[in-house]
Structure 1
Amino acid sequence: MISVVIADDQPLVRSGLRMILEGEADISVVAEAADGDEAVALVLAHQPDVLLLDVQMPGIDGIAAMKKIAAHNARVLILTTFDLDEYVHHTMRAGASGFLLKDMSGEDIVSAVRQVARGADSLLAPSVTRRLIQRFAAAPPQPSTARLGQLTAREVDVLRLVGRGMSNAEIARELFIAESTVKTHVVRVLMKLGLRDRVHAAIAAHQAGLT
């Protein structure tokens, strides 16, 4: 069972999300928050698997709330109406595992919660994925970390393609390997590099100059 806390200042949004998520047998909404401070308190109290967090809320905003819960294990899925690069950039840097827009379908939101809970398949809304990747690609690459030396040649190949924004299925076709093998490589890359999720692996690939 995937436990979820919903944090949004709009009651209708919270009730709509609860209805969508609790219609799934494997998801349970354990609490709702109307502001950033309440979101922090509920995460500490319930230790959810996933926090659905709005960016703009009364009190402390979503980014400040994320920083306060950084030491805990909840994976944060940013859900907002604002399709703006600065939000994507700052929330990813603060440790978010995904960034979705509120106009996405209920099916996509449910899928996102499941993927974020699994960790290795964290995601961004399709409308912002390409711009985020391009933003980091345009920045000067950082020196390669010593941890990259722990990767096998195949794991480096997978990391490079993750950095290009490719899905597991696309990577599998590119490298002529099974999709399950790609998933295994992604998990190992995350473990070896000490990365939180797939999004941060893509950022690391760009910073290391792999793409």
Structure 2
Amino acid sequence: MITVIVADDHPVVRAGIVGEIQKDAELQLLGEAASSTELFPMLEKHQCNVIVTDYAMPGGKFGDGLPMLQMLQRRYPQVQLVVMTMLDNPALIHTIQKAGIRAVINKADRLAHVNPAIHAVHRNGSYIPASVKALLATMGSTTREHLLSKRETEVLRMCATGLPVVEIARICNRSSKTISTQKVVAMRKLGLVSDYDLYQYAVSTGLISPAN
């Protein structure tokens, strides 16, 4: 049996993923989490093989996005990850892959991708649906996002969601001064002047969803 935990802050989406997993006799659902606050204690209690997790789950004690994924990899290196996201920013998806995530599913795709992705990563393979491959293929070497480092991209994403610099510094384990500097430098690279400009840019590029 492959043991699985599902993490997503949208109850309807989470229910759909759970329902799909329960169709497969080789998969055992250990639990559901609505945030990183709920997810990490579950991992202390259960021997989990695969986590199917949303990329953006703001408000959790252990953050979300890339810092959360990297923390999961450090603390639980034996656990494989399947990341689901509504973001359609090819540079960001490429960054997720560079962090060692081998399965990325777009939430706009059919849920039928979930179980094959779980089986693939459990076998140390990868799973990238055709829609995600097509999105990655649109990423040219001259896109503005390539001007940013991984850390700058993640700092901008969290700033755009409204998180204060002090909280971002805690999540990323960096100083507030470092976070502020990275934000200023990244905004300058992109030609952004105000926090409103940053929010508009983040939404338009898929860095965050309008719901944030």
Q: Same fold (TM over 0.5)?
A: yes
Instruction: With the length of structure 1 as denominator, give the TM-score of the two structures.
Output: 0.58
Q: Who is 1:126 aligned against?
A: 130
SS at match of 1:69: helix
Provide the C-alpha distance between the structure 2 equivalents of 1:93 and 1:44, rounded to a whole number of angstroms.
Answer: 26
Deviation (angstroms), 1:134: 7.2
Matched, 1:77 2:79: no
Matched, 1:66 2:66: no
SS at match of 2:73: coil
- Structure 2: 5+ residue stretches without partners: 143-212
1:101 aligned partner, one-letter code: N
Provide the C-alpha distance between the structure 1 equivalents of 2:94 and 2:44, rounded to a whole number of angstroms.
Answer: 25
Over the matched positions of the two proteins, sequence identity in percent amounts to 27
Deviation (angstroms), 1:117: 1.3
> Over the residues paired in the alignment, what is the CA RMSD in angstroms?
2.2
Counterpart of 1:106 (choices 111, 121, 138) is 111
Deviation (angstroms), 1:99: 0.5
Deviation (angstroms), 1:138: 4.8
Q: Who is 1:86 aligned against?
A: 91
Q: Who is 1:55 aligned against?
A: 55
Matched, 1:14 2:14: yes
Runs of 4 or more above 3 Å deviation:
130-135
Offset from partner CA, 1:18-46 (integer Å, 9 cap, x none): 11101110011101111123223323432
Tell me if the contact between 1:88 and 1:132 (Cα under 8 Å) persists in the aligned partners: yes
1:123 aligned partner, one-letter code: Y
1:70 aligned partner, one-letter code: Q
Provide the C-alpha distance between the structure 2 equivalents of 1:36 and 1:91, rounded to a whole number of angstroms.
Answer: 17
Tell me if the contact between 1:5 and 1:32 (Cα under 8 Å) persists in the aligned partners: yes
- Number of residues of Structure 1 aligned to a counterpart in Structure 2: 137
Offset from partner CA, 1:111-161 (integer Å, 9 cap, x none): 1111121112x12121222554675x959xxxxxxxxxxxxxxxxxxxxxx
Provide the C-alpha distance between the structure 2 equivalents of 1:81 and 1:68, rounded to a whole number of angstroms.
Answer: 21
